Every structure is written in structure tokens, then in C-alpha cells.
Structure 1
Amino acid sequence: MRVRYSGNVVHFNVGYTIDKSKWNGGDVQRCKNGTSHNGTTASEINRTLQRFENQISDLFKQYEVKDQLPTLEQVRTAFNVAEGRIEEKETRKSLFHYLDLFIETESKDKSWTAGTTKKFTTLKNHLKDFSSELYFESFTKETLKAYTDFLIDDCNFRNTTARKNIKLLKWFLRWGFAEAYNTENAFLTFDPKFKEVSDTQIIFLTWDELMKVHNYNVPDKYIHLDKVKDCFLFSCFTGLRHSDVFALRRCDVKEDYITLVTVKTNDTLSIPLNKYSKSILDKYKDFPLDGKALPCITNQKSNEYLKDLMKLVGIDDPITKKWYRGPELLTETLPKYSLIATHTGRRTFISNAIMMGIPPETVMKFTGHKDYKSMQPYIAIADLAKREAMNIFDNK
């Protein structure tokens, strides 16, 4: 059964299969009298259709008195409540109740990092901005499509960000389905196609830029940037994530290597120290850091200070970024310092290591990467650098 109003269409499953040859169309929209359909009489089906129509009519009268127009979800929910297909709103639990339960239980059972928990908390905020009244059954194919459009059109997300958000939502809906809280399975086949730039652009410091940062003496008026510089450089010379540099303890530091369990992936790594990383550790070996190896501050504050530092150093080559928002290809050219963040350190290590000729398999042992595919963008950077170096001969 279809309900059409103000350009909207809501579909309801009547529960019967009708023989088209025994159906009166047009204004009648009823089974022909005296017919039967798979063992059900026309009179029984027609009574059901009339009851459905009365319920829909009553619903619209309620909103007409309020001088309001119901949303598709309000029509669908009110009808399903009247038919006993779902519980009353007062007694059934909202999507956000289950999302809180999901975060609470799965974060403990699966040992989530703080970053994963934060991603789902952010997802919750986006869902509330989309609609304050959501239930598992809300996420039909139409609602999933509407939420995807909301992320791009209202939140102004890039396609890559919207794709990640939908992936998180489907993760949660899949959990609800497995726990029997969710009976709406439209998410199983929902697979939006996002246009994305084919070549992943990796922001990293070349060796010359890295040495420029390494040799830069931070002025006294910006002395707060000095520790940020050292922690970032340590990442550049070891390949560690900021979270691991932050968590590194003096007891993790051996004579020629460091050993640690990574915060994000729980991998045990043993990374040799080079002269650059050793000198940074030596600089702070006598500092009162409560057992920590380096004076790291929060990731958010580090990202803010890194941009200031890189601007002072002169890491300002123009970088053109490309991305899609919906079907539209957008570009923006920015100074490189504005794109530097803590994770740039890890990317700098990988890129320079491969360009120096260290085999990708060895680099993966340092960084904890398990998928060779993740090394492909860095290998492509090294191959391009080699081709550009060979082109020097053409100019001689």
C-alpha cells in the first residue's frame, strides 16, 4: 500500500498477495467481490485495506489539527504502532540508547582505543543533528540514503569522510542486528558509491625539509615549540605514531633500540635507534618526566603548534589538494606548513626510508604494518623520486 502526500510516498506491506486479474483499480482499489487470493477471501483483504486507510486518515487529521505535516518517519512509525508491529515510542528504546550500549560494551570487550570511542561519539552527534528521533527500524534504504546526503550537503563532508562515517554506522547497525535489537536489514545491501581521487596524496617531509627542521633553532619567544619539535622529529626518525611517542617510557629505551606495545594496534615492536633518535632521547634523559621518555603534549595541541613551527622553519611550498564532495571535484592550494600534523612524522619516516632503499618488508617490521598494500602509496612516491632523479641526465 502506498500513501502519497505533498510529494512524499510511504510504502506499507499489507501482508497479502493479490491476483491482478481479480483487482479493481482506479478509484476503487479493492479486490473484486467474491474472489479469493491464495486462500484469503476478498472481503477479509478489503476490510484490512479499509482499516489501514482509516488509520492513515486519523493520523493526518491529528497533524491537521496541529497545522503540521508529518514526516515520512512519523507516518511510518504511527502506522506501525497502530498495527502493533512496533512498540509505543514511550516504551521502546531509541537508537541512541543502543548506541550508548554499543559504545559501552564493545569498547570494553574489544579493547577499543580512545580514538575509536571518540569516532563513535562523533557519529552519535551527527545522527542527532540528522534527527533527534531515530530507532533501528528508521534506517530503511531511503533513510540511509538521506543520511548520506545529509553528511555531504549539510555537514559539508568530503566523500572520504562521509564514507568512513557510513562505515561506522553500518558497524553499529550490524552489531544491533547480531544482538537481535535491530530487525531492519537494509544496511546489509546499502553500498553508496563515493567518487574519490584515485591517487592518494601523502604529505611528508623530504629529507632536505626534515634536516631543515632538525637544524632549526627555535627562538626564545617561541620556546614552547621546542619540545613539540623534538617529539615530532622522534616520530620522523622512528616511524612511531604520536600516541606511542606520548606513551614511551624510559624503561622502553635500551642501548640501541626501543621496544614497546603500540597503543592503537597492540603490536609489540622493536625499533633500532639511529643517531638522530638517540640524540633526542639523550636530551631529555635527565628531565623530570615521571618516567616518560619524552615531553609530549596532547595530539590536538601538538597539531596546532606544529603548523606554527613549520611556518617559522619555512616549510611553505604550495600543495594542491584534490577531493570530491558529492559529484563535484574540488581543489585547494595551501602552504605545506598548514597541512603538517603529528601523523606526518610517521609518513615522513616511511617515505624517506623507502626512498633510501630500505626494503618495504623491513620498514613494515619497524612500523607494524601488516598489509603490504598499505605500503604501495609510499613505494609509488619512491618510484616517482627515482624517475625524477634520472631525468637530471636529460638536462646535462
Structure 2
Amino acid sequence: MKTKFVPRIYKKKNAPLYLHITGHSKRERLLLDIEVDHQYWSTEEQRINISIIKDEQLKKLYQDINLIIDNIDSKITNIKTVYRLSEIVLTPKKLKQELIDDLPRVNFCSFFQHAIDEEKKIIEPGTYRKLQSVLNKLKRYDDQVIFTDLTELWFQRYKVHLSKIGNKKTTINSNIKSIKKIIRKAIRMGIKIPCVLEDIKAGSTLGTKVSLDPFELKKLKAYYDSEFICDAHRLMLAYFLFSCVTGLRFADVMAIDKDAVTDDFIQFKAEKVDKMQSIALNKRAKEIINSCDDLFVKHFTNEYVNRELKVIMRNLGLKKKLTYHVSRHTFATSFLRAGGKVEKLQLLLGHSSIKQTMVYSHIVSAEANKEMFLLDNLW
């Protein structure tokens, strides 16, 4: 496989630069987004001859163009390396397509984006947003990482990086798990990586269930009812508090339209089970619905609501890290504190196993154990 940069010379001074690719008795041409003055072009070096340019401003421009050409050359080398290691025949047509598509078979971030975009129609919106968030974080770390870089050492360093930027252990494990999922897809397509994927351990993604205690819940409700709250925060809290008294997931709440709400029930299509469900509205849920006209009218992304909830907690002087999903945990612990049975809670939360629900029972039991120390005040 041979490649050559060739300016196509017309009558005008600046000539468009092409990449000529030959191999396997085939030839392809790729027009690059570069123009060069042909009088400065060195056919032997396939670069601009900077030494013969007198104008300093023009010299700086062509130095940058030479760097761009160097970068394209580097990408070509990476493509050849990955194809050779993967034992896949690289044709001029494939090389051209790789460069046009920004190296999806070579650059891991490009492949990641292609993979999740292809699955966008068949995966849940929340899953797509999560994978996109994982990718965005990876891009900020190294958007030029290629498959041959994915060694055990790379994974170790990336975990250290995620820890340094403040990610919790469960969040790091979840990111690694998502990255491994994309790599498996690449491996099925014949792409190889320089390590055994099974040796990369993601670890547990089950974190501590954070919930609000009665004091924190009352403080949020008091702020919701106050005259000082802005409309945007009031709507955010309306959604959050609604889930605190119903246990509904964010995706399910955002899929509800106003027409689905009746006096005593609300109907929605549950995202996880993909079927229509109906739940009874308790007194608190009705109060929130009746107090906020924009509820189930204006919809938001999970990321936006989480950012606003953090601002609200900071304004109220509450240090607990709040995300929308905390409302579901709060519903579960509040239900058990009020005397509800764990078997009923399992049905309300839609858990397939009682073990998932028992976590909340352990949280409430741990709180009860702390109350034992109140007896120390007897003497």
C-alpha cells in the first residue's frame, strides 16, 4: 500500500492537495481540505519547502499546513498498524473510507461514537445518554486513543485519572464496564487489542443507596412552598418531590403527559418493562400535581435536572449529593419508615428480585440501630 500527497495544478496559483492511494492493483484519490502554492511544493519531500519562503506570515501558514500533512501521515500509519495486527486486508478503498470517517476502525473514540449512534434507535434514551457521557469523559482524557493503545496499563492510568477528577469508585467501574462493552463489539468485527479483555476487571457498580432523611425532605418541601423560589427551581422540585412520593423513575416521569393524569390514578409506559402501568396517586402526589401547572407539560434531560438539583441543595446549605434517582431511594426508605412491608415495596418499585428491595430494609434497620444509643441518656 503506497500513499502520496499530490497538488493538482491548475492555472490559478493555489492548488488543491490530493492524497493518492495505490495497492492491490487499485487506486483511490482523496481530496484534502488543503490548498498549497505549487511553487513552494517539494515533490520529493511531499511537503511545503519552508526554506524558500521569504514572507514570515506565509511561512507560518505553511508550517501549519505541513503539520496537518504530518498528522494525516500519522493516521495512515495507525490504520496500517491496526489492520495488520487484526489480520485484515487493507485496500485503497478501505483506507480512504477510514480517513473520511475519522478512523472508526482505528481511533477508539470514533468507533465508540459510531457504535452508539448505530444502536441509538434500539436502546433506551437513558442508556444512550449514559454511553455518550462515558464517551465525552474519555474524549476529554484522550480523544486520539487508538485500539493498539488499549493495554492493561492504559486502563490503570485511566482509572487513576477518573479518580483524580472526583469520580467515585462505582462511577469508575461503570465507565470501565461501558468501555469494555464497546470493545467487545469491536472484537466481534475482527479488531484486536493488545490485552486480554477478561483480565480488565470493572468491579461492582452497586453504590451506596443515597436517600433523603425526613429533615432534608421537609426542608426541600418548605423551599418548594416558599415565595422565594424561582419558577425553574419550583418545577425541578415538583418533579423530584413527585418521585419521592411515588417512586417513579426519571424516564417514566418525563414520558408522562398531562392527559394521563386523572383524579386518583396516573398512567405511564414504564421504560424498563416497556408496557403501560397505572399507579394510585396518594395525597402528597395530588398536592404536587395541583400546585404546579407545568408538571408533565415541560420536559427536561436527566443531566439538566441533576445540575439544577445540585444548585438547589447548595443554596439550602444541604451537603448531600443529590441526583434525581435519589428520589426513588427516598420513596423506598420513607415507605419502610412509615411501616410499609418490603414485599409490597418490591411490587411498587417493580423489582424482579426481593434482594434488590431488601437493600432499603437494611438502610432503615441501620438507622434504627443508631437510635439504641438514645438509651445512654437514661443514666
Q: TM-score under structure 2 normalisation? A: 0.63
Q: Aligned residue for 2:174?
A: 164
Residues 188 and 240 (structure 1 numbering): CA distance in 2 closer, same or farther, change over 3 Å?
same
Q: CA deviation at 1:346?
A: 1.4
Deviations 1:16-41 (A, max 9, x none): xxxxxxxxxxxxxxxxxxxxxxxxxx
The offset of 1:382, in angstroms, is 0.8
Match of 2:111 in 1: 98
Deviations 1:324-356 (A, max 9, x none): xxxxxxxxxxx23xx223222212111111222
2:258 aligns to what? Answer: 250
1:373 lines up with 2:333 in the alignment: no
**Inter-partner Cα distance in structure 1 for 2:82 and 2:234:** 63
* 1:229 has 2:237 as partner: yes
Provide structure 2 residue ranges, at least 5 long, that are not aligned to the other structure. Answer: 1-66, 68-74, 99-104
CA distance in 2, matches of 1:301, 1:80: 39
Matched, 1:190 2:199: yes
- CA deviation vs aligned residue, 1:244-296 (integer Å, no higher than 9, x gap): 22222233224422231124553544322111101222334xx4x5xx64555
- SS of 2:268 mapped into structure 1: strand
**Alignment check: 8 A CA contact 1:141 1:186 kept:** yes
* Paired residue secondary structure (2:186): helix
One-letter amino acid of the structure 2 residue matched with residue 114 of structure 1? P
Give the letter for the 1:214 counterpart: K
Cα separation, 1, equivalents of 2:220 and 2:163: 37
Alignment of 1:284-363 (within 5 A): 284=292, 287=293, 293=296, 295=298, 297-310=300-313, 314=316, 316=318, 335-336=319-320, 339-363=321-345
Root-mean-square deviation (Å): 3.9
> Given the alignment, which residue of 117, 124, 129 partners 2:135?
124
Q: Secondary structure at the match of 1:186?
A: coil
1:211 matched to which residue of 2? 218
User: 2:344 is paired with a residue of what secondary structure?
Assistant: helix
Residues in 1 aligned to 2:79 and 2:237: alpha-carbon distance in whole angstroms: 56
Q: Deviations over 1:360-386 (max 9, x none)?
A: 232222222224333343212110222
CA distance in 2, matches of 1:84, 1:353: 55
- Alpha-carbon distance between aligned partners in 2 of 1:117 and 1:226, rounded to the nearest angstrom: 28
Q: Structure 1 stretch 223-232 or stretch 167-176: which is displaced more? A: 223-232
Task: Give the Cα–Cα distance (whole angstroms) in 2 for the partners of residues 267 and 341 of structure 1.
Answer: 26
**Secondary structure of 1:104's partner?**
helix
Look up the match of 1:114: 125
Q: Which runs of 5+ in 1 are unaligned?
A: 1-65, 67-72, 317-334
Deviation at 1:163, TM superposition (A): 1.4
Alpha-carbon distance between aligned partners in 1 of 2:351 and 2:204, rounded to the nearest angstrom: 27
Cα distance, 1:101–1:224 mapped onto 2, change above 3 Å: closer
Equivalent residues of 1:257, 1:273 under 8 A apart: yes
- What is the aligned partner in structure 1 of residue 370 from structure 2? 388
Match of 1:45 in 2: none
Higher RCO structure, 1 or 2 (CA under 8 Å, sep 6+): 1
Counterpart of 1:303, as a letter, is: N
Q: Secondary structure at the match of 1:370?
A: coil
CA distance in 1, matches of 2:171, 2:229: 38
Q: Percent identity at matched positions?
A: 25
TM-score (norm 1): 0.61
CA distance change for structure 1 residues 225 and 361 in 2, over 3 Å: closer, same or farther? same
Once the two structures are overlaid, the 10-residue window that deviates more, 352-361 or 125-134, is: 125-134
Supply the distance in 2 between the matched residues of 1:175 and 1:83 (Cα, whole angstroms).
17
C-alpha distance in structure 2 between counterparts of 1:302 and 1:82, whole Å: 47
SS of the equivalent of 1:342 reads coil
